Amino acid sequence: MPSSVSAQPVIILVGTQLGENIGMCARAMLNCGLDQLRLVRPRDGWPNERARATAADADCVLENAKLYDNIDDAIGDCQRVFAATARQRSLRIPGLDLREAVREIVDASPPPKTAILFGPEASGLDNETLSRADRLIHFPTNPDFPSLNLAQAVLLFGWEWRQSSSVQSAPITSSDLPATREDTNAFLTRLEQALDESQFFVAEGQRPDTIRKLRAVLTRSNSSDDDLRMLHGVLTALIKK
Amino acid sequence: MPSSVSAQPVIILVGTQLGENIGMCARAMLNCGLDQLRLVRPRDGWPNERARATAADADCVLENAKLYDNIDDAIGDCQRVFAATARQRSLRIPGLDLREAVREIVDASPPPKTAILFGPEASGLDNETLSRADRLIHFPTNPDFPSLNLAQAVLLFGWEWRQSSSVQSAPITSSDLPATREDTNAFLTRLEQALDESQFFVAEGQRPDTIRKLRAVLTRSNSSDDDLRMLHGVLTALIKK
């Protein structure tokens, strides 16, 4: 069992509607030994009494939960981002079944700081958020009745993580970890500014789509700090004329 | 996936207190392709409106549920009985971790008719009932916070059963194939020329290393034709000044 907090995936609940569900997620997490919870814009506000009521004795997870205004801040210090989603989307992000995804998380060495995103109860994660993910996690449930509730999806993730990580061997170290999302975003922001200055966006509606695709390309590339330094250098050279 | 009903374990809820929990169990079962439910003396009577409310669209499981007065009738037609329990009791019944238990169930050939017993929410199964079991199933959760709610225990059983008994699920396919290496290289060549024109390569020795890194980033990004078109557009915009 990894004992250090850094090896533990961070559970990020994005736009959760009901406080009750946040409490049930906290309980399911602690059942599996997970206690790093982040919340992005929970609909009913935070802190939330109803969350406390359903958390059973997992209040400690709620008390330590961190609240964020937007997804980029929530994943800013993370190096790998996985997103739970029921459907395959068009972003060309590799999809894995839950057990394979957990194996990839547990086998990574040294362990990168990893976030697992779960979307709102009714709609799931939108494309804007999914474009931040390295991997989509698919839950192979009954195709005729696939829909898990939020806390059950979190439970299954936690369960698989606990089952896999309890047999994990000692990590081998390497200095070549992926860059953090904060640093990746800083590059994207700079690129967007450069494109603005070049009047790249003829129609304003083109902007979000292009940025989303660029983000997806960069995310899939799994670039390191060293790669990002090089990309900054390339961008500087290209725009200096 | 075993399709015959006889190969499916029967879920037996013994003395369940809340109708809501029976509904949530039905939903969790159907998520995993299980639909054989039996109820022994549910405290709040049967049928139960609250069960229907929490079953989402898994009403069919509730409608087909069979009601029993006592455990012996409920397991009468079964050949193997497993009992979910949080604690190890003194009955000297062999205990297995959930995953091992499921493997034993799935590997049995020919498949015996198997029942899985789950006890009341507050107390779990009593010794009188446990004494009917061939095996006790233990859920290896966090020892400092082990208690699963009823529907979550049923979900974990169903999940493990589905994972073990399903033939490898079909891979998630995407219609959007990666670009050919030829097209990827064409972009890299164009980028290299642009960098040349910007006097990016101060020392000539820097060139192969940079190109190799850029190629690695682009390769890992697994970009499609559509992505490459966008990247060409971005490059055109950046160098046009």
Interchain CB distance below 8 Å, B31 and A221: no
User: How much is the pLDDT for B208?
Assistant: 87
Comparing CB atoms, the residue among B140, B155, B220 nearest residue A221 is B220
Rounded to the nearest integer, the mean pLDDT of chain A is 88
- The CATH number of the domain covering residues in B10-163: 3.40.1280.10
Tell me the chain A residues in contact with residue B57 when contact means C-beta distances shorter than 8 Å.
145
Residues of A with Cβ-Cβ distance to B226 under 8 angstroms: 213
pLDDT value, residue B193: 93
Domain boundaries, chain A: 10-163, 181-240
Residues of chain B below pLDDT 70? 1-6, 87-91, 166-177, 241
**In this predicted model, what pLDDT tens digit does every residue of A64-106 receive, in sequence order?**
999 999 999 999 999 999 999 986 666 778 899 999 999 999 9
Cα–Cα distance measured from residue A118 to residue A69, given in angstroms and rounded to the nearest whole number: 16
Q: What is the pTM of this model?
A: 0.78
* Half-sphere exposure for B57 (CA within 13 Å, toward CB): 6
More confident residue, B15 or A107: B15
Q: Could you report the predicted ipTM of this complex, rounded to two decimals?
A: 0.72
A181-240 belongs to which CATH class?
Answer: mainly alpha
Are the Cβ atoms of A191 and B234 closer than 8 angstroms? Answer: yes
Task: Please report the pLDDT score of residue A151 as a whole number.
Answer: 96
**Residues in chain B closer than 8 A to A163 (CB atoms):** 99, 140
CA-nearest residue to B217 within chain A is A221
List of chain B residues whose C-beta atoms are within 8 Å of the C-beta of residue A28: 152
Q: A195, B239: Cβ pair inside 8 Å?
A: no
CB contact under 8 A, B198 and A166: no
Q: Do the two domains B10-163 and B181-240 of this chain adopt the same fold?
A: no
Of the candidates B28, B174, B226, which has its C-beta nearest A88's C-beta? B174
Per residue in B64-106, pLDDT (tens digit) is: 999 999 999 999 888 889 999 976 666 678 889 999 999 999 9
Give the three-class secondary structure for B235.
helix
Residues B172-181: contacts with CB under 8 Å, at least 24 apart:
B172/A88, B172/A95, B172/A138, B173/A88, B174/A88, B174/A92, B174/A95, B176/A90, B176/A92, B176/B224, B176/B226, B177/B224, B178/B222, B178/B223, B178/B224, B179/B223, B179/B224, B179/B225, B179/B227, B179/B228
Closest residue on chain B to A194 (Cα)? B238
